[in-house]
Amino acid sequence: MKNVLKVWLKRRNVNKNPNSFYGQVSIVNDLTINDIIDEIVKDGLIDNREYGIEFMNHFNRKSAELLLNGNNIDIGLVKLSPQTDGYIQDKSWNPDFNYICASFTEGSVFMEAKENTTIEIIGSDEEVPVHPDHQNDGIGSNGESNGSVRKSGYDNPPCGIAFRNWILQA
């Protein structure tokens, strides 16, 4: 199957090159295990949807259990490794400051699928629709960059940059 990933071109505001763009993927849907199992049922691989969902949920729980017992997990789509983060003070774990997470890299199934993927550019720059979850990330219309430090276009922006600018002006 040939995959098509639709991308909007977004102008890079960090430099003065008018031909510098990055791609913002146009998200079609947010899918869950249930949606993926429905697709597998449509493909005819399994007949019993409930069994497929139960199997995938058990697979995920077992993978998490193995991961959280110190194993690296390669599930094809991604490779997972357990990690901890946060400053460990006095050689003691403090759940208020420390946490467990997983790092991941692309697995072989994903890498093979990328080889069968075409990028389709569907528009550029000001035409780009903003996903509600990403309205204020990156450098956008409310800010400018002088190359290394992002300056906010607001007099009193509600972010760490305003605090940093305030400290530097003091």
Name which residue leads in pLDDT, 138 or 81.
81
pLDDT, tens digit (0-9, with 9 covering 90-100), for 11-22: 888 877 878 889
146: tokens are 């002088």
Name which residue leads in pLDDT, 6 or 14.
6
What's the mean pLDDT in 101-110? 95
pLDDT, tens digit (0-9, with 9 covering 90-100), for 150-162: 333 434 444 444 4
With residues binned 3-state (H G I as helix, E B as strand, rest as coil), the percentages for the chain, rounded to 5, are 35, 25, 40
- Taking 80 as the threshold, does the pLDDT of residue 141 lie above it? no
pLDDT, tens digit (0-9, with 9 covering 90-100), for 50-98: 999 999 999 999 999 999 999 999 999 999 999 999 999 999 999 999 9
Domains of the chain: 3-135 (4.10.520.10), 141-170 (no CATH)
| Stated pTM of the model | 0.64
DSSP-derived secondary structure letter, 85: E
DSSP-derived secondary structure letter, 97: T
- CB 22, CB 32: distance < 8 Å: no
